[in-house]
Chain A
Amino acid sequence: MEHDIKYAVELIGINKTFPGGVQANRDVTLKIREGEVHGLLGENGAGKSTIMNILYGFLSKDSGRIIIRGEEVEPKSPQDAIDRGVGMVHQHFKLIPPLTVTENVILGLEPSSKKPDRNNSLAVITATLLALFVLSFFLPPFEFLITAALLLAAIVLILYPPRVFENLMASTRFRAAFEKLVSDVRPLGFDDAAKKIQQIANENGLAVDPYAKVENLSVGLQQRVEVIKTLYREADILILDEPTSVLTPQEVDELFVTLEAFKKSGKTIILITHKLREPMALCDRISVLRDGVLVGTVKKDETSAEELAQMMVGRPVVFTVEKPPATPGSIILNVENLKVKDHRGLPKVRGVSFQVRAGEILGIAGVEGNGQTELVEALVGLRKPSDGTILVGDIHTTGKSPRFVREAGVSHIPEDRHRRGLILPFTIEENLTLGRHYRPPFISRPGILDLDKFRSVSSKLVNDYSIKGGGGGSLTSTLSGGNQQKLVVARELESGPKLLVAAQPTRGLDVGATEFIHKTLISMRNQGVAILLVSAELDEIRTLADHIIVMFDGRIVGEKRPEETDAQELGLLMAGHLEGEESVEVVN
């Protein structure tokens, strides 16, 4: 049986240790069959991306063998993998924002222009004539003629497409050498490339404007550009690294349709993910990695989400969170008619009002980009609202500085922990005390930090929140994503807040860390903290929140209790179907 199966990729006994000493892969053996969709599942830091980057030639391996379609390869650079039809869509897109879609796609595989371009010819001819004009003053007539002839010949050969001088250079070896020499300075065929990109886009339902600048595209479109990049290189082994982590639910659906089509056309797809739902929906076989070691490879039909989860974290996972009924107290956060503009001055929050009481969780659901980010920034003092009031307890915090808001009893788990939550090159101790460092107990005498206190407080927190990956003195950048998030949570909760604003608190986290953070949020609620939870994960909102409001286009379009509603109704609200419209239809 085994002999009948054709493998697209075989990775045998791969070992990889990073310069910092982290062992990312330990003797991993993976076999990907021709034409299958293979899921690569594992928690963050399990080594999924590492092993695929090794296959792609982006990282080097310490030992092991790589066999692509029966041919053993030692990829030195991604070029070796690209040549063998391997394409990779990285988690953090490999795109250059100020360049156009076309420039990004052709980078590294630039086509020559098929017909001369007017601007190019104009520029080069002007420059040549000017140079020859000046030279004519210095060179004797005969030498000048020779120089001019040589210069013009070289320029024609470089500027004009191969077709023009094919007959001139019969010897292919000479031509190849010449091509190699001048290929870097041949004019680029932007228009031909754009046409080809348009064609690829149309054939695969990946519509995108080849002349648009990447920085002006949405994240979903940027991912399309990444996919087009691999197709442009005629890849038939596609690696997708966490492709859904930045997409809206609709964009995820579109991506899955595209991937289904790829599978039908015979491409081999490797899908890296830490979300259980995705491989179950799409993959034929699933391999699970944990701590750099392959736990096993299973067929989708012979497994379940629970089994996969257990393989991932190494123990059974409880999917539901114990949640006693809420005992709401007094109003802690009172927001009245709040309006906020984004950095370009466009209104993003268009007048929202809500309250959060002590001991309850208010969940804000919505597709990302509907004003949640700006709302949170206004609440915690990072952005000045253009109108409205914010009351925390009885303190007016509208438009006040972040420190003032913090002192009023507000803690904030930011949606982007790298940008707003942590200073990665700082130690764990330092990050755990940031925001409180300027007052006792961290200040012993005026203006002098008490580093012993730093140490004792942080070692307690590292224990309480089981932050793994190093002591208080090690750098935050060495922690895995989940542990970094735990660090943020530990710091924010330790200050004893009245109100906790948690924005996407489990984004990019694995099952274990998510479970931990959910439990922590519930226990804070039970202790009487008011919690505002903003999340794009509908499941998270539904399990945790006591009240749900749905934001669409900067407004609150629905207010529900989780037990009164279901995912479908919330989904419709998130997509902008107003309740009013619906009820009108019912009456009719």
Chain B
Amino acid sequence: MKSAMKRFLRRGIVIPVVLLVIIILLLKFTYDAVDDVETFYALTGWLLEATLQSATPLILAALGGMFSEKSGVVNIGLEGMMLIGAFAAVAATYFFYDPWIGLLAAVLAGGILAVVHAIICVKMKGNHIVSGTGIILFAAGFTTLMLEVIWNRKGISEQVTALPNVNMPFLQDIPIIGVAFDNLSPIVYFAFVLVIVSWYVMYRTPFGLRLRAAGEDPSTLDAAGVSVEKYRFIGVVISGLLAGLGGAYLSLGRGLPAFGKQMTAGRGFIALAALIFGNWTPFGVLAAGLFFGFLDTLQHFVGFVPAWQWIQGYSQFLQMIPFVLVVLALAGIRKSVPPKAIAVPYEKEVKA
């Protein structure tokens, strides 16, 4: 345990420190630019709130991806599972008039799509990438079709009841925090809860140990008398449940409570990027998700400071940064170690 800690300090400390310095500089420049405490507090509070909001779907989907990939199954279908989650949340809320039922439906819908992925990848030993692509395409087509069938609309569904937000009036007087945490969706908090729970499950329970073993070396797990298929299957299904929850947040948790065609807009892929950048660990995923959420928010943030509005012309450049970072991470700037048996179907009866 101690040596692991030391290594973490040596390797893991650099990026957080650099980020912290960048954020402090940014805040200082903001303060210089607006030159007014009240506006500064409001702006920073908004930045924090919007970061949490942007990060939540990424964290949830990336956590899901972690359960799948740690067990050895690549899940690029996260995008599709999020999309179907977003859709199911709105549809169920529309029919049952209760956003909590919508939330449940989203989780289940993501899970069902994941079961399909698991059957193809784990039971039938299909190619993970092909299956994942199929899931994305299916989700895109299915949700667009159902948009027409249910609401007879092309771009965006009817509005439904939104999930109520968590109001904390007692925080209102505290600068920054008051603005940031005044009106957040409960799903934001659930994301943090799930990060902690995932850490416990992944590193402290037999389930986590077996799941990790399935992704590192399935034949070893098999030799220990444990079914590889069972744990990979469960891992993939958990990934669908979490991605579905992330999708529900997109449609019910923030902004207009409605489903828009292709509303995930590539967040499933950014979640995969966060998963890699976070080195397939729960807290790494949390940090990477927050960072990518922060970058996402930054492009809107610069619009609020008159002196910086010119940057908005380059917002596409800001959007690109997460992917550049992932390429750098994979190129070895930061050591990313994927599970060793990832994307390799486990065939039991092959001669050693």
Shortest Cβ gap from A217 to chain B (Å): 14
Interface residues of A (CB under 8 A from B): 18-20, 22, 24, 49-50, 53, 56-60, 77-82, 88, 90-92, 94-99, 103, 106-110, 117, 119-120, 123-124, 126-127, 130-131, 133-135, 137-138, 183-188, 211
Question: A138 to B189, alpha carbons, bound, how many Å?
Answer: 13
Q: A58-B223, A78-B222, A109-B224 are in contact. Are A117 and B212 (CB under 8 A)?
A: no
* Residues of A close to B210: CB separation below 8 A: 107-108, 184
In the complex, the answer to whether A130 meets B193 with C-beta atoms within 8 Å is yes
Q: How large is the interface on B (under 10, 10 to 19, 20 to 34, 35 or more residues)?
A: 35 or more
Shortest Cβ gap from A157 to chain B (Å): 14
Kindly report which residue of chain B lies nearest to residue A110, judged by CB atoms. Answer: B206
Q: A77-B222, A99-B212, A120-B200 are in contact. Are A186 and B205 (CB under 8 A)?
A: yes
Stretch at the interface among B23-31, B46-54, B213-221, B247-255: B213-221
In the complex, the answer to whether B164 meets A138 with C-beta atoms within 8 Å is yes
* Residues of A close to B217: CB separation below 8 A: 94-96
In the complex, the answer to whether B186 meets A18 with C-beta atoms within 8 Å is no
* Residues of B close to A186: CB separation below 8 A: 205-206
In the complex, the answer to whether A59 meets B349 with C-beta atoms within 8 Å is yes
Shortest Cβ gap from A123 to chain B (Å): 5
Listed by A's residue number, 21 A-B pairs whose Cβ atoms lie within 8 Å are A19-B349, A19-B350, A22-B351, A24-B351, A58-B222, A60-B349, A81-B225, A91-B352, A92-B352, A96-B212, A96-B216, A98-B337, A99-B213, A107-B209, A119-B204, A123-B204, A124-B196, A130-B193, A184-B207, A185-B201, A185-B205
Which residues 147-192 of B have a CB within 8 angstroms of A?
Answer: 164, 166-167, 186, 189-190, 192
* Residues of B close to A133: CB separation below 8 A: 189
Contact of A184 among B199, B205, B224, B350 (CB under 8 A): B205
Kindly report which residue of chain A lies nearest to residue B1, judged by CB atoms. Answer: A211
* Residues of B close to A131: CB separation below 8 A: 189-190, 193
* Residues of B close to A103: CB separation below 8 A: 209
Q: A96-B217, A110-B209, A126-B196 are in contact. Are A90 and B166 (CB under 8 A)?
A: no
Question: A96 to B349, alpha carbons, bound, how many Å?
Answer: 20
In this complex, the member of A20, A22, A131 whose beta carbon has the largest number of chain B beta carbons within 10 angstroms is A131
Query: How many CB-defined contacts (below 8 Å) exist between A and B?
Result: 128
Kindly report which residue of chain A lies nearest to residue B194, judged by CB atoms. Answer: A127
Which residues 335-352 of B have a CB within 8 angstroms of A?
Answer: 337, 348-352
Question: A170 to B227, alpha carbons, bound, how many Å?
Answer: 32
Shortest Cβ gap from B283 to chain A (Å): 11
Is B21 in the interface zone, CB < 8 Å from A? no
* Residues of B close to A120: CB separation below 8 A: 200, 204
* 10 residue pairs, one from A and one from B, having the closest CB atoms: A108-B224, A79-B225, A110-B206, A184-B207, A127-B196, A94-B220, A94-B223, A78-B225, A134-B189, A96-B216
Kindly report which residue of chain B lies nearest to residue A216, judged by CB atoms. Answer: B3
Contact of A79 among B166, B189, B226 (CB under 8 A): B226
In the complex, the answer to whether B212 meets A124 with C-beta atoms within 8 Å is no
Question: A133 to B197, alpha carbons, bound, how many Å?
Answer: 16
* Residues of A close to B196: CB separation below 8 A: 123-124, 126-127, 130
Question: A94 to B167, alpha carbons, bound, how many Å?
Answer: 53
In the complex, the answer to whether A130 meets B189 with C-beta atoms within 8 Å is yes
Assuming A78-B225, A127-B197, what are 9 further A-B pairs, CB within 8 angstroms?
Answer: A49-B352, A59-B348, A81-B225, A108-B224, A120-B200, A124-B197, A187-B205, A188-B205, A188-B209
Shortest Cβ gap from B237 to chain A (Å): 14
Shortest Cβ gap from A466 to chain B (Å): 22
Contact of B204 among A24, A106, A187 (CB under 8 A): A187
* Residues of B close to A135: CB separation below 8 A: 186
Kindly report which residue of chain A lies nearest to residue B201, judged by CB atoms. Answer: A185
Contact of A77 among B166, B213, B225, B351 (CB under 8 A): B225
In the complex, the answer to whether A20 meets B226 with C-beta atoms within 8 Å is no
In the complex, the answer to whether B349 meets A107 with C-beta atoms within 8 Å is no
In the complex, the answer to whether A90 meets B167 with C-beta atoms within 8 Å is no
Question: A187 to B203, alpha carbons, bound, how many Å?
Answer: 9
Contact of B167 among A24, A92, A137, A185 (CB under 8 A): A137
Question: A98 to B186, alpha carbons, bound, how many Å?
Answer: 37
Question: A124 to B203, alpha carbons, bound, how many Å?
Answer: 13
Kindly report which residue of chain A lies nearest to residue B188, judged by CB atoms. Answer: A134
In the complex, the answer to whether B225 meets A188 with C-beta atoms within 8 Å is no
Kindly report which residue of chain B lies nearest to residue A93, judged by CB atoms. Answer: B220
* Residues of A close to B199: CB separation below 8 A: 123
Question: A79 to B225, alpha carbons, bound, how many Å?
Answer: 4
